[in-house]
Structure 1
Amino acid sequence: MQLIDIGANLTHDSFDHDRDAVLQRGREAGVVQMVVTGASRAHSPQALALAQAHPGELFATAGVHPHHATEYTAECDAEMRALLAHDEVVAVGECGLDYFRDFSPRPAQRRAFEMQLQSAVDTGKPLFLHQRDAHDDFVAMMKNFEGRLGPAVVHCFTGTREELFAYLDRDWHIGITGWLCDERRGQHLRELVKSIPAHRLMVETDAPYLLPRTVRPSPSHRRNEPMYLAHIVQELARDRGEDVAVTAANATATTRAFFGLPG
């Protein structure tokens, strides 16, 4: 299988001591390309640097997660736009709204999201989106840019059936993570993933977060990494009633078309 991890936070400091080994383990597990998430003013440039150090294998996004929305000043916007000018940066984000924890005030989140949506309009690059407990405001803000945005993927989808179909009705893509493997919180996804068309479905680890709880033997640590993407795809294929090779091939083809990645 050839797999592509569309969301790996490889700039996270938990990878500082063994990042090269993490990449190698991913390769050995069939992960041929990865999109490194840029989720803050500090980490988006680091994501680009990683992509430039691994041409053709690593790519990057550039954006500011809603948790960090207060840092999205005019100066920050200019910095993100400069990053987006690079070919290695394949999407705007991670951006969106998160009302679950409210680490940034909601008005600041909406302002940062609106500015990044405008960047997507101006650059024509796809959107790498985050939404948690903010569905109505999220959809309303996206609707304000309707007809001007390119492709969009709702990364790490964990929502309801109603949310899923609202996104699919708008032709947005869906990113599925190891949340699927969480018997406490992700059981509803087992049924929902059957409804995602193959040309709208992509896969990701969100490493180092969301280590799949069904990995056996269970590692002694809780750090997720790209090597576990194969396990997520196996579970996803089973839930969709597909051969794992079919699920993997479809997700990889969809991902390359979405981000414009080389074969």
Structure 2
Amino acid sequence: MQLIDIGANLTHESFDPDRDAVLARARAAGVGRMVVTGASREHSPRALELARAHPGVLYATAGVHPHHAVEYTAECDAEMRALVAAPEVVAVGECGLDYFRDFSPRPAQRRAFERQLEIAADTGKPLFLHQRDAHADFLAVMKDFEGRIGPAVVHCFTGTREELFDCLDRDWYIGITGWLCDERRGAHLRELVAHIPAARLMIETDAPYLLPRTLRPAPKSRRNEPAFLAHIVEELARDRREPADAVAAATTATAEAFFRLGPSAA
């Protein structure tokens, strides 16, 4: 399997001691390409640096997660626009709304989200989106940009059946993580993933977060990493009643088209 992890937080400090080894393990597990998530003023430039250091293997997004929305000033907007202009940056985000934790006030979240949607509208680059417990407001903000923005993926989808079909009805893409493997919170996804068209489905680890709970043996560190993406593919294939190699091929083709990566050189 040649897989693409569309969401890995490889700038996280937990990877500082062994990042090269993490990338080597990913390649050995069939994960040939990874999109490094940029989710703040601090980490978006680092994501671009990593992508430039590993051309053809790592790509980056540039954005400000709703947790950090209060940092989205005019200066921050200029910084994001400069980052998004880089060819290694393949999407705007991670951006969106998060009312589960409310680490930033909701009005600040909506303003930061709208500013980043403006960047996507101006540049034509795809969107890497985050939504948690904010579905109605998320749809309303996105509706204001209807016809102005290009493709969008709802990263780490964890929502309800109704939310899934709302996204699919708008032709948005869906990112599935190891949340699928969590019997406490993700059991409902087991049935829902079968309804996602192959051309709208992508896979991600969200490493170092969301270690699949069904992974055996589990790493002692409890740190998730891109090498475990193949396990998510196997679980996803079982729930979709499809061969794992078919799910791998389809999600890779979808990611290549969405992020405009072109086929792998490997």
TM-score range, shorter chain: over 0.9
Q: Deviations over 1:12-33 (max 9, x none)?
A: 0000000000000000000010
Give secondary structure in 2 for the equivalent of 1:165.
Answer: helix
Amino acid at match of 2:159: G
CA distance in 1, matches of 2:256, 2:67: 28
Q: Any residues of structure 2 matched to 1:35-184 within 5 Å, and which?
A: 35-184=35-184
Give secondary structure in 2 for the equivalent of 1:55.
Answer: coil
CA distance in 1, matches of 2:185, 2:135: 18
TM norm structure 2: 0.99
TM norm structure 1: 1.00
CA distance in 1, matches of 2:102, 2:30: 37
Which residue does 2:7 correspond to in 1? Answer: 7
Q: Deviations over 1:6-49 (max 9, x none)?
A: 00000000000000000000000000100000000000000000
Amino acid at match of 1:14: S
Which residue does 1:253 correspond to in 2? Answer: 253
Q: Gapped runs of 5+ residues in structure 1?
A: none
Give every structure 1 segment of 4 or more consecutive aligned residues whose post-TM-superposition deviation is greater than 4 Å. none
CA distance in 1, matches of 2:123, 2:78: 13
1:219 aligns with 2:219: yes
Give secondary structure in 2 for the equivalent of 1:45.
Answer: helix
Give secondary structure in 1 for the equivalent of 2:115.
Answer: helix
Give secondary structure in 2 for the equivalent of 1:221.
Answer: coil
CA distance in 1, matches of 2:184, 2:4: 27
Deviation at 1:220, TM superposition (A): 1.1
CA distance in 1, matches of 2:69, 2:142: 17
Deviation at 1:219, TM superposition (A): 1.6
Deviation at 1:59, TM superposition (A): 0.2
Contact preservation (8 Å) 1:56, 1:262: no
Q: Deviations over 1:75-126 (max 9, x none)?
A: 0000000001100000000000000000000000000000000000001000
CA distance in 1, matches of 2:217, 2:199: 32
CA distance in 1, matches of 2:252, 2:182: 24
Deviation at 1:262, TM superposition (A): 2.5
Amino acid at match of 2:101: R
Which residue does 2:192 correspond to in 1? Answer: 192
Give secondary structure in 2 for the equivalent of 1:25.
Answer: helix
Give secondary structure in 2 for the equivalent of 1:136.
Answer: helix
Contact preservation (8 Å) 1:94, 1:130: yes
CA distance in 2, matches of 1:235, 1:110: 35
Amino acid at match of 2:85: A
Which residue does 1:202 correspond to in 2? Answer: 202
Amino acid at match of 1:220: K
Which residue does 1:20 correspond to in 2? Answer: 20
Which residue does 1:244 correspond to in 2? Answer: 244
Contact preservation (8 Å) 1:199, 1:250: yes
Q: Deviations over 1:52-83 (max 9, x none)?
A: 00001100000000000000000000000000
CA distance in 2, matches of 1:46, 1:248: 28
Amino acid at match of 1:109: Q
Query: How many pairs align?
Result: 263
Q: Gapped runs of 5+ residues in structure 2?
A: none
Deviation at 1:218, TM superposition (A): 1.8
Query: CA RMSD for the aligned pairs?
Result: 0.4
